[in-house]
A and B are shown apart, each in its own frame.
Chain A
Amino acid sequence: SYVLTQPPSVSVAPGQTANISCAGDKLSTKGVHWYQQKPGQAPMLVVYDDWDRPSGIYERFSGSTSVNTATLTITRVDAGDEADYFCEVWDGGSARVFGGGTKLAVL
């Protein structure tokens, strides 16, 4: 089965840039989606199809992919960005796959 690997945690100082990675075989062929989940809340889509942003999502959130890695980049990070972030893809067959999630800590 297809596997997506994320680092368990990323730490960044306020005002700096956070990069959250998601690794998977031939990931650039699949279309990666990113979700933000704050404590006690439902997940929220922040990037879809590798780099598109839903309406209402700040331009500070952006996505990119290389062959086997996708990256969610958050610029000018503030305390309100503290959350768990999950990548997700359709595996090309019949399954949806989530990464294990990355906890973003703002120092």
Chain B
Amino acid sequence: EVQLLESGGGLVQPGGSLRLSCAASGFTFKNFAMSWVRQSPGKGLEWVSSIGGSGHIRHLPESVKGRFSVSRDNTKDTLYLELNSLRAEDTALYYCAKSNSPLFGSFDHWGQGTLVTVSS
């Protein structure tokens, strides 16, 4: 059974940093792209980053490029999201999602999310 368990969220001041983790199990982690998707309270889904199975290909939207970075450790079956220069508008539930292919493809499994709150 595929399981994705996010951690690392919390309350942080504007301008601060956090590192989110997503521990994966139940599948061959290195064979699939992974992504982060966030959802602000009461809002829709927003894609935040994707990384290919090998870790060489990484994509982020312009809204977070230069502030967020995505990485993975295929020896630990873990996905990471580094969040820097955080703003109030980054407050959201951050989901880890598995793709159904090594590069692109649908998000076929999701974690339960970790909450990031940016506030002074």
Contact = CB atoms under 8 A, between A and B. Distances in A.
Interface of A: 1, 33, 35, 37, 42-45, 48-49, 54, 84, 86, 88, 90, 94-101
B78 interface: no
A49 B108 CA distance: 12
Contacts of B50: 96
Of all A-B residue pairs in the complex, the 9 with the closest CB atoms, nearest first, are A48-B106, A96-B47, A33-B106, A42-B110, A94-B59, A101-B44, A98-B45, A90-B104, A45-B108
**Which interface residue of A35, A48, A94, A96 has the most chain B CB atoms within 10 A?**
A96
Given A42-B95, A48-B100, A95-B61, A101 B111 contact: no
Contacts of A48: 100, 105-106, 108
Contacts of B47: 88, 95-98
Contact of A101 (B45, B100, B109): B45
Interface string B16-47: 00000000000000000001010000001111
A86 B37 CA distance: 13
A99 B47 CA distance: 11
Contacts of A97: 47
A44 B44 contact: no
Interface of B: 35, 37, 44-47, 50, 59, 61-62, 95, 100, 104-113
B107 A45 contact: yes
B62 to A, nearest CB: 8
A2 to B, nearest CB: 11
Nearest to A99: B44
A34 to B, nearest CB: 9
Contacts of B104: 90
Contacts of B46: 98
Given A42-B113, A45-B107, A49-B106, A95 B44 contact: no
